[in-house]
Amino acid sequence: MPELQFFDGCAMVGWRNARHPETIWHPDDFLRDYEYYGINAALVHHAVAVQYHQDYGNRRLLEEIADRPRLVPQWVLLPHHTHEIAPPDELIPEMLELGVRAVRLCPKTHNFPTSDDICGPLLEALQEHRIPLFVDVSELDVPAAAQLCERYPELPVVLCGVAWGVDRALEPALDRAPNLHIETHAFQGHRAYERIVNQVGAERLIFGTGLPDCSP
C-alpha cells in the first residue's frame, strides 16, 4: 500500500500585524513544521493579502514561495468594481498562467457582500474554470455558504474553520449543496467525522491545519 500523503488545505504564510513573537510566518518555518508532522505539501495564502492589499499580497506570495514547490499558492480576491484588482476576464487567465489554482474570499474582513450584483462576475468566472473557492466560516456563515453553492452549483466551495456547534445548520447544508466542502482544522465533535462520512462521503472533508494560528 502506498504511503498516505497529507496536503494541508488551510495555511497563511507571511508577516502580519499583531503577531505573537513566537508565531511562525516565514515559508521555511512552515516547511520545517510540515517535515516534523509528515505533511507533504500545503495550499497557502499570504497575510498581507488579507490584512493590507490583495494584489500586492498575492504577488508577494509568489515571490516568497517561488523556490518552495511544496507550498502551493492561493490568491485572496475581491470584486473588481473598485479597480483594486483586475476584472475576472483578465485575472483568471493570469492566475492560471502563474500556477494559481485556488482562491480565497474574505467578504466580512474586506467589507463586501457575496450577492450576484457584486460578486457575480467573479463567481461565474471561478465556476467556469472550476477554481476552488475557500472562505472562512467567520467570513460567511453556513447558511450563506450553502446559498452561494446553490447559486453556483459547479463551483467547488470549501468552508474553513467550521467548528462544533453548527451541526444543525451544517448537515442540511451539505445535503442541499453537493459542491460544499468542509475544511477540518477546527472540526471537532463526538463522532462528527463518522457522521459526515456516512452522510455525504469522505470527499467532502478537506484536511487543513489552520497554521499558524493552530497546530497540526
Please write the tens of the pLDDT for every residue from 195-212. Answer: 999 999 999 999 999 999
Q: How confident is the model at residue 2 (pLDDT cuts 50, 70, 90)?
A: low
56-79: average pLDDT: 98
Q: Which of 171, 178, 176, 173 is nearest to 154 (CA)?
A: 178
Q: Which of 183, 209, 182 is nearest to 34 (CA)?
A: 209
Please write the tens of the pLDDT for every residue from 146-203. Answer: 999 999 999 999 999 999 888 889 999 999 999 999 999 999 888 999 999 999 999 9
Task: Give the pLDDT of residue 190.
Answer: 87
Q: Which residues 6+ apart lie within 8 Å of 124 measured at CB?
A: 88, 152
Task: Give the pLDDT of residue 53.
Answer: 97
Residue extents of the structural domains in the chain? 7-206
Q: Is the pLDDT of residue 1 over 60?
A: no
Selected residue with higher pLDDT from 17 and 86: 86
Give 44's Cβ-side CA count (13 Å radius): 32
135-150: average pLDDT: 98
pTM of the model: 0.96
CA distances from residue 197 to 61, 161, 183, 192, 200 in whole angstroms, order as listed: 34, 18, 13, 9, 6
The CATH classification number of 7-206 equals: 3.20.20.140
